[in-house]
Structure 1
């Protein structure tokens, strides 16, 4: 079957699904309305977000295994039903226990949609444009925060929390289920016929453009035996930890360093969200042109510069500039995970392998904000947090250098072996 035009339709439909799932990134706008409506504390209400993100970080690896036996369409449909159903259930919540249970259901639906049901399947339709496809998909999820934050704030203020959740639950369920029904599963070994003989396009995503090599498909067990996994996983953990040391405290950092109000600091948060979305969409495409390792190193170097800059800023413009650099880089890492794994370990087990690597990023996102908070308490300022974040990025650069060298050696040896076998 010819998927040349259909794959772009599937990409567009999955971006729409991810925009719906992006409500998780805007959940903070619902925390205070939930607390006020039910007369709970902010801490109690915010635990709903923690539950959702924990489910989202832990489940992709298990759902990835399920995808080897179940069509991606069914994963997406289940995600839409659970996401919409979870929000509908939240609209009738009467106790904290119910809030947490329904938040878990919503979180399960979110992770079935993004990243499980969309990223690993659609990337397989774009072996010639893996970075672009992954970037647009992850960018769609981040764009959801830009859309749903103001929409959610307006709806909760005008309609109230129960009606808002009920309305969004219905809209999300219908939208995702309809879109999912039109999406097909990528056939094994798919490559666009129009680009079949374009050797540079076929290998441009890797660091060595050698037309005689093919990537060996490794399952999760074999991937965990490879030193590459730990080098790249360590680099992603370092990048996520350093970025989230900043992401998790951007508003209080702005207020502390610039002496501005919380309202003025919210403008910086918006800039960070926009930069994060843009970074996801742009860096994936750039990695198709320059190579994954080069782009990862660029992002890590930029993060080092941003962290050094943060220790010196004294104006709103300078602070906002550093914020946007961090956002652009953090978004870029998310767009490169799936393409890089497909480059190194093949596409057959991409869903599971992606889920495992996603845990490394999730661990960094968990550690980063807490580490920044501890350093702020210990030193009385965020300067030490910036220095520590810079060190994490330097470690990441070293790990990427080792991974790149190992990958080049491995690829060269595979090519030489292939040539020797061909000559016999």
Structure 2
């Protein structure tokens, strides 16, 4: 029914490049719900109840070392008579990003050959299929099915969906690389902003006295995301070889040594020190934030307890004993997840766009220095129970976390050229896979250890924040060492011509695409419709987040 070949999706002369960003957003807003999965932790952690309505004991209770946690989790994978802990569930969140990076690295080269449309549709099948398998896992209370469904299969979908539009948009917008990568990736940060409040509403709709309505929510989300991701994937188009916007000339490399007009082959990129320095930078930037974002909802509830429900004298332990207060605090936690997501998405577009002026290297210096200061401030805010300051600090951290993701593809394009930037970006996302283990393990392990040591809930996260600030210091040093790529790694003109000829569309009828504002008037309605289709859900997410944020700051 649909031609998925790369040749078929090469744009013709009347194509408007502004149709590609909303297609990318439709895919990324769907898979971005991975960030919002923390709204399921508390409902799933009390899914099994006794006859009197109290929660069943948790799996692996009483473990005191990391090795025992792993052993206990192995039991939890198949147990049907105990509730899952945050540590158990947090490993599914880790699997998301481990598999995201691995799949992006493994199939990044295939994506460059097959084109973004085919990759986007495979991503849809994996992500939505994984949600359905997870729904079955929740229904039968089998943790291994959740890990396999959303964690492994869904994680593969995340990787393919994440990188599918990146190189395409960089090639459509060579004059605004930072803005292009910001548009390509900002939807991934905004997925939780839409998905978290929607999931909360669905769980409330499907909940019964005996179960929390999570599996039904997974099914509905899978159907909705399948529709959006299919439409977005079919909207992908690629520019003809050597296309460039009318009136734009590449920057003078003599005055912009960190921005090249040549290209490094995929097989040579990982042999350069610049690749590994950027790998380390991304790993540290992600590790320092991903665990906190993944535990955003429970972190806020544990740290501020009764402040969230207008009763400052109560701690989190008191709230857990009252069902109505637990529901109210959970709603505030979901609002915080959405608020973090708003700044995540704004940071992806804002920081990446500003990097076009500031430079990628300077932008990353800001991330590492300001980020470390924010974590120190977060420790103070938690200790002093200053909710407003804590919210502001975490929102700034979230913006720089998102900005790091959206700026790294432009950084790669500046250093290595654009011919293989999608595949190189896919390989460097293995840093995300590593960070997906490092960050959540640091946060969840330190959290559980301090909890078992009977540390008050409000004091749990201070040392965690200071540890994460130290990771940003490592990233600062790595960025300081980045220099222009040695000329020996670049392809010759003959090698570049051979690569372009190998990937040249077979259809002779393909012509050069029309640049910005060059599309005929008849396509304007399509551009408006495409943007409305993604802006309406974003507006819903912002509206819902604004309501919750108002309650938080009030």
After TM superposition, the score normalised by the length of structure 1 is 0.83
Find 1:282's aligned residue among 350, 353, 376.
Answer: 350
Find 1:328's aligned residue among 396, 399, 404.
Answer: 399
Find 2:83's aligned residue among 34, 38, 41.
Answer: 41
Find 1:214's aligned residue among 230, 253, 261.
Answer: 261
Query: Which sits farther off after the overlay, 237-246 or 36-45?
Result: 36-45
Matches within 5 A, 1:204-243: 208-209=255-256, 214-219=261-266, 221-243=267-289
User: Is 1:140 equivalent to 2:187 in the alignment?
Assistant: yes
Instruction: Return closer, same or farther for 1:3/1:362 CA change in 2, 3 Å cut-off.
Output: farther
Matches within 5 A, 1:28-177: 28-31=38-41, 33=43, 36=47, 41-43=83-85, 47-93=91-137, 95=140, 96=142, 97-103=144-150, 104-113=152-161, 115-159=162-206, 160-177=213-230
CA contact (8 A) 2:98 2:437 kept: no
- Mapped partners of 2:215, 2:333: distance in 1: 29
Instruction: Return closer, same or farther for 1:208/1:393 CA change in 2, 3 Å cut-off.
Output: farther
User: Is 1:9 equivalent to 2:61 in the alignment?
Assistant: no
Please report how far the alpha carbon of residue 212 of structure 1 lies from its aligned counterpart in structure 2 after TM superposition: 11
CA deviations 1:285-334 (Å, max 9, x no partner) are 10112211111111212112212323433222222222122111111101
Query: Which sits farther off after the overlay, 154-163 or 326-335?
Result: 154-163
Instruction: Return closer, same or farther for 1:210/1:352 CA change in 2, 3 Å cut-off.
Output: closer
CA deviations 1:217-250 (Å, max 9, x no partner) are 331x311211111222222222222234643555
Instruction: Return closer, same or farther for 1:157/1:213 CA change in 2, 3 Å cut-off.
Output: closer
Query: Which sits farther off after the overlay, 331-340 or 300-309?
Result: 300-309
- Structure with the larger helix share: 1
Please report how far the alpha carbon of residue 253 of structure 1 lies from its aligned counterpart in structure 2 after TM superposition: 5.4
Give me the CA root mean square deviation: 3.4
User: Is 1:298 equivalent to 2:298 in the alignment?
Assistant: no
Instruction: Return closer, same or farther for 1:82/1:2 CA change in 2, 3 Å cut-off.
Output: same
User: Is 1:183 equivalent to 2:236 in the alignment?
Assistant: yes
CA contact (8 A) 2:33 2:192 kept: yes
Aligned partner of 2:412 in structure 1 is: 341
Query: Which sits farther off after the overlay, 248-257 or 121-130?
Result: 248-257
Aligned partner of 1:394 in structure 2 is: 473
SS of 1:342's equivalent in the other structure is: helix
- Mapped partners of 2:469, 2:148: distance in 1: 38
Instruction: Return closer, same or farther for 1:213/1:171 CA change in 2, 3 Å cut-off.
Output: closer
Instruction: Return closer, same or farther for 1:375/1:149 CA change in 2, 3 Å cut-off.
Output: closer
Query: Which sits farther off after the overlay, 383-392 or 284-293?
Result: 383-392
CA deviations 1:163-198 (Å, max 9, x no partner) are 433333232223222332231234343321x2333x
Instruction: Return closer, same or farther for 1:234/1:100 CA change in 2, 3 Å cut-off.
Output: closer
Unaligned residue ranges in structure 2 (runs of 5+):
1-10, 49-79, 207-212, 309-315, 317-328, 494-554
SS of 2:352's equivalent in the other structure is: helix
The structure number with the bigger radius of gyration is 2
Query: Which sits farther off after the overlay, 183-192 or 300-309?
Result: 183-192
SS of 1:128's equivalent in the other structure is: coil
Find 1:371's aligned residue among 433, 439, 442.
Answer: 442
After TM superposition, the score normalised by the length of structure 2 is 0.65
Instruction: Return closer, same or farther for 1:300/1:52 CA change in 2, 3 Å cut-off.
Output: closer
CA contact (8 A) 1:218 1:346 kept: no
Which of 1 and 2 has higher RCO (CA within 8 Å, sep 6+)?
2
CA contact (8 A) 1:245 1:385 kept: no
The size of the alignment, in residue pairs, is 404
User: Is 1:195 equivalent to 2:244 in the alignment?
Assistant: no
- Mapped partners of 1:385, 1:396: distance in 2: 18
Please report how far the alpha carbon of residue 121 of structure 1 lies from its aligned counterpart in structure 2 after TM superposition: 2.3
CA contact (8 A) 1:123 1:134 kept: yes
Instruction: Return closer, same or farther for 1:366/1:410 CA change in 2, 3 Å cut-off.
Output: same
Instruction: Return closer, same or farther for 1:292/1:110 CA change in 2, 3 Å cut-off.
Output: same
Instruction: Return closer, same or farther for 1:286/1:173 CA change in 2, 3 Å cut-off.
Output: same
CA contact (8 A) 2:94 2:440 kept: no
